[in-house]
Amino acid sequence: MALENELGIPEEAIELRFIRSGGPGGQNVNKVASAVQLRCDLKLWPALPERVRDRLRTLAGRRLNADDVIVISAQRFRTQEHNKRDALERLGELIAQARIEPRIRKATKPTRASKERRLQGKQKRSEIKQGRKVSHDW
């Protein structure tokens, strides 16, 4: 499994199961197990940095089960090989996203000029709305 090595995942952490697909395939749907269920056990990947592991857990969402295993199902294609490649690519994209360190937002205060522009805009808007009022002098 060359793709796992490119991703840096130990082979024992990845498990592929082939199951019957519900998608296109005609009569083969009931005979051939073309869908792939990829399982990546995070506990068996000790080299993964803890910060990346935490982001990966967050990004995986409901694909992560209680045993700390990411489960990705692929059944877009009619062949096992295409679905296997699709599942591995999706796992790779997930890992690539998790490896991106999020920037920490630094709180800033609005400048005096921006405050003044905001207030002028509010004043102008107020004047426009005041001009729409109909005076009833009866």
pLDDT tens by residue, 69-115: 888 888 888 778 888 888 888 888 888 888 888 899 999 999 999 99
* 119 or 29: which leads in pLDDT: 119
At 100 the pLDDT is 85
Task: Please give the model's pTM, rounded to 2 decimal places.
Answer: 0.64
Q: Which residues contact 36 (CB under 8 A, 6 or more apart)?
A: 16, 17, 18, 19, 73, 74, 75, 80, 83, 84, 86, 87
User: Parallel, antiparallel, or unpaired: how do β-strands 14-19 and 35-41 relate?
Assistant: antiparallel
At 3 the pLDDT is 47
Cα of first residue to Cα of last residue in the chain, in angstroms, is: 88
